[in-house]
Amino acid sequence: MDRTSRITPQLDLVGLVVSDMAASLAFYRRLGLDVPDPAGNAPHVEATLPGGLRIAWDTEDVVRSFDPGWTRPAGGHRIELAFRCGTPGDVDAVYEELVAAGYRGHLKPWDAVWGQRYAVVLDPDGSGVSLFADAGPDSATGAGPDPATDAA
């Protein structure tokens, strides 16, 4: 198939497998996603983001219903979502709000060498959720976080 006739799939949905649907939806609502309030204890929930990309949450039981051999990944998280904040101060504020609400901070906000204010919190299933904003030309220190002291 030559380049001009190549089929190009479009990314349409990011799916998250969750162990506690209510806890996961509460976390992502706190981040500002317009997540529908499911009737009862829905095992599958979807939301359409601005721009049309969809995000879906499925319980582990739903995934096992069509993939019986599925097992929860061991070790670190397998996916990380990144949320752009308006300003570097917003990164700090959202991080502090989430940690104060009981969510686990992974990397406290820092000025990254690539020119962004950056932080990472963990969702209820332990997946990393990055918070970032353009830091401006004078704010990048080049010093990354110290995992031994920067995790909350």
Q: Are residues 142 and 88 in the same domain?
A: yes
Task: Write the DSSP assignment of 50-93 as a string of letters.
Answer: TTS-EEEEEEHHHHHHH-TT--PPPSS-S-EEEEE-SSHHHHHH
Q: How far apart are CA 49 and CA 29, in angstroms?
A: 12
Q: Are residues 105 and 136 in the same domain?
A: yes
| Paired strand residues for 130 | 82, 120
Domain that holds residue 130: 76-152
Q: Are residues 62 and 80 in the same domain?
A: no
pLDDT of residue 73: 84
| Contact in structure between 47 and 36 (CB atoms under 8 Å) | yes
pLDDT of residue 152: 54
Q: Flag whether 106 is in a domain.
A: yes
pLDDT of residue 139: 55
Q: How far apart are CA 87 and CA 21, in angstroms?
A: 30
- Number of domains present in the structure of the chain: 2
Q: Which tokens is 30 given?
A: 């706190």
Say which amino acid occupies 10.
Q
Q: What is the CATH number of the domain that holds 49?
A: 3.10.180.10
| Contact in structure between 94 and 88 (CB atoms under 8 Å) | no
This model's pTM is above 0.85: no
Q: Are residues 84 and 137 in the same domain?
A: yes
Q: Flag whether 2 is in a domain.
A: no
pLDDT by 10s per residue, the chain, length 152 = 566 678 888 999 999 999 999 999 999 999 999 998 875 678 999 999 999 999 999 999 999 999 999 998 887 777 889 999 999 999 999 999 999 999 999 999 999 999 999 999 999 999 999 999 998 655 545 555 655 455 55
Q: Flag whether 127 is in a domain.
A: yes
Q: Are residues 81 and 44 in the same domain?
A: no
pLDDT of residue 74: 82
